[in-house]
Structure 1
């Protein structure tokens, strides 16, 4: 009888734990446009510059959400520029980089590494749980960055990727003749050691989880199965009025960037081609193809499974 009671108790605890996990995976939904709380994190007079505004929106359950993401842009170190129209930096090739002008940030270790990053639109880079630098241009014009740091292998890379938005809370922008066009995303990174040897690239071995999906014109299209947050069945059509559409939000784990964080149940990153992301006309990428598209170790653009609707994606990789 005692053994039976212990079995029942263990079963109850297991079921409660499973219920708790499933509950944590379910999203909170908001509807309509967010309230603007910052009219622009950054001002740029360059061509194709867009305002990187930030909004706040409340769900029916009382939870509040910062959109498109709660970032460290205003307080963190900005990554050094490879190509940045806003700062009048337009390097034509990687051989033109003045590495002496790029500070080396201590991430706990003795070896120097260099990270090359192009993000559509915004990134934040952590190494071993330390925030090293953030993208100096949150929205557009498109730019690329270089970051140097000290670490010892193995070390943990963690990247926040944000697809910025003009229609705050609805994951869309004015583009291609539409007022509500759901823009695409993507991120590519290459890590080299001091000898120039590539030690890591973005590819399908990374883990990637989405935390903000919009716009949703029909919430039932979103399928959540444990850690899988699948928006592939949702409409990606551009419209003239999407102000009544919805968005799905998940809380970002407080220690998601820590080496101790368990990302084993996160989906693997989905890879995308240069053509899909649309970088063939962007000098911020094309000027450095010898780095990003090295014929021996070619880096992939990565994101979650939906490049269009998934707007806040966290990515992780341990470099052995």
Structure 2
């Protein structure tokens, strides 16, 4: 396997004006990503508004190889043809169900998506930090109603025949567009974190799939990067595990890495065999123990017979756009 690493011999550094943060020269990087530096230009403001939520903006930025990137990700949030998922819990809209049974009692069956007319009915329960779009066999079946915060959880129902392929775009939203940061813990530029957990049940309430290390997961946007020498690639594995997650007071010199998303990534016949397996994370690491959008439904997400795991790519803090796939047999 060919290993691509960032060279250190000719590394140069520069320091931001407001704090002692050193960033490497772009010339030190020799991986496969496109590189951007600094804050993106806002192109859409507040695509969703929540009284206690963070502002959900979208931006664009040009990389050193003259490619234009949408940050935090190019999504279908404003695409009316892509259906919204139903609410399991959504305090932004005053929906605070205590149980899944209560949520399902308010479910509008017309929201179910038919993949196969003769297929069986399945229900997916999803908690995503922050945003998801879900496909089954390449067909859109549900997207998150709340792109950023307050934290919510969702229900997606669809009819399909086994085997079927689940593909999801996962996005950790950002306040400072282009550098993967938000104000937190006394720092204006603090790296956010992601995480997604899902359980799929059949009409008899049996769990037929749950997120774990057998799902595939690939990252397509990593930020903030202070030192380009911290990232490495091994084949299709994109690693930022050696990178700092400290953030700081000034992110104007932070870098970001971007990879182009394949147009057919959600299709059944897409070859994900060279993607890494998903990395799993504990509830404590993701920090859901105080979020009723999760804790109200632990009987589903933390079922004693099949405890669903939070999944992401290898770096739940710095990787901000992640695609995951799984075949349900």
Q: What's 1:96 paired with?
A: 102
1:236-247 map, 5 Å: 236-247=245-256
4+ residue runs over 4 A deviation: none
Q: Deviations over 1:15-74 (max 9, x none)?
A: xxxxxxxxxx710000000000001211111x3x01110000001211000000000001
Q: Deviations over 1:240-283 (max 9, x none)?
A: 11111100000000000000000000000000000000000000
Residue 194 of structure 1 and its aligned partner are, at CA, apart by: 0.5
Q: What's 1:57 paired with?
A: 61
Which of 40, 45, 48 is matched with 1:42 structurally? Answer: 48
Secondary structure (helix, strand or coil) at the match of 1:90 reads coil
Asked if 1:266 is matched to 2:275, the reply is yes
Q: Separation in 2 of the partners of 1:129 and 1:303?
A: 20
Q: Separation in 2 of the partners of 1:170 and 1:241?
A: 11
5+ long unaligned stretches in structure 2: 1-30
Identify if the C-alpha distance between structure 1 residues 100 and 68 changes in structure 2 by more than 3 Å, giving closer, same or farther.
Answer: closer
Secondary structure (helix, strand or coil) at the match of 1:317 reads strand
Normalized against structure 2, the TM-score is what?
A: 0.88
Secondary structure (helix, strand or coil) at the match of 1:86 reads helix
Which of 56, 77, 83 is matched with 1:73 structurally? Answer: 77
Q: Separation in 1 of the partners of 2:247 and 2:63?
A: 24
Residue 104 of structure 1 and its aligned partner are, at CA, apart by: 1.3
5+ long unaligned stretches in structure 1: 1-24
Normalized against structure 1, the TM-score is what?
A: 0.90
Q: What's 1:29 paired with?
A: 35
Q: What's 1:12 paired with?
A: none
Q: What's 2:170 paired with?
A: 161
Matched length: 295
Q: Separation in 2 of the partners of 1:119 and 1:83?
A: 12
Q: Separation in 1 of the partners of 2:90 and 2:252?
A: 33
The range that moved more, 213-222 or 99-108, is 99-108
1:111-130 map, 5 Å: 111-130=120-139
Secondary structure (helix, strand or coil) at the match of 1:153 reads coil
RMSD: 1.2
Q: Separation in 2 of the partners of 1:305 and 1:101?
A: 37
Secondary structure (helix, strand or coil) at the match of 1:188 reads strand
Asked if 1:135 is matched to 2:148, the reply is no
Which of 284, 287, 291 is matched with 2:293 structurally? Answer: 284
Residue 95 of structure 1 and its aligned partner are, at CA, apart by: 2.1
* Contact 2:224–2:247 under 8 Å retained in 1: no
Residue 319 of structure 1 and its aligned partner are, at CA, apart by: 0.2
Q: Separation in 2 of the partners of 1:60 and 1:231?
A: 20
Structure showing the higher helix proportion among its residues: 1
Residue 86 of structure 1 and its aligned partner are, at CA, apart by: 1.4
Which of 262, 282, 294 is matched with 1:253 structurally? Answer: 262
Residue 149 of structure 1 and its aligned partner are, at CA, apart by: 0.3
Secondary structure (helix, strand or coil) at the match of 1:89 reads coil
Identify if the C-alpha distance between structure 1 residues 276 and 100 changes in structure 2 by more than 3 Å, giving closer, same or farther.
Answer: closer
* Contact 2:86–2:107 under 8 Å retained in 1: no
Residue 100 of structure 1 and its aligned partner are, at CA, apart by: 4.6
Q: What's 1:9 paired with?
A: none
Q: Separation in 1 of the partners of 2:234 and 2:212?
A: 24
Q: Separation in 1 of the partners of 2:140 and 2:106?
A: 20
Secondary structure (helix, strand or coil) at the match of 1:215 reads strand
